[in-house]
Structure 1
Amino acid sequence: MSSLSSLRPAPNCKETSKIELEIVELTPALRAFARRFLRSEDDIDDLVQETLLKALNSLHLYKPGTSLKSWLFTILRNTFCTNYRRQKREPAGMDAAMEQVAIAPTQEWVLRERELQRALTFLSDDRRRALTLVAAGTSYEDAARMCGCRIGTLKSRVSRARECLAQMLGNHLVD
Structure 2
Amino acid sequence: MTALEFTYQIGTFSKFLRPFALRLTKDGDDANDLVQDTLVKAFTNRDKYQDGTNLKAWLFTIMKNTFITQYQRMVRRNTFIDTTDNLHYINSMESLQENKAVNFFISEDIQSALSKIDSMYRVPFMLYFEGFKYHEIAEELQLPIGTVKNRIFMARRDLKNHLHMYA
Q: Which has the larger radius of gyration?
A: 1
State the TM-score, normalized to the length of structure 1. Answer: 0.43
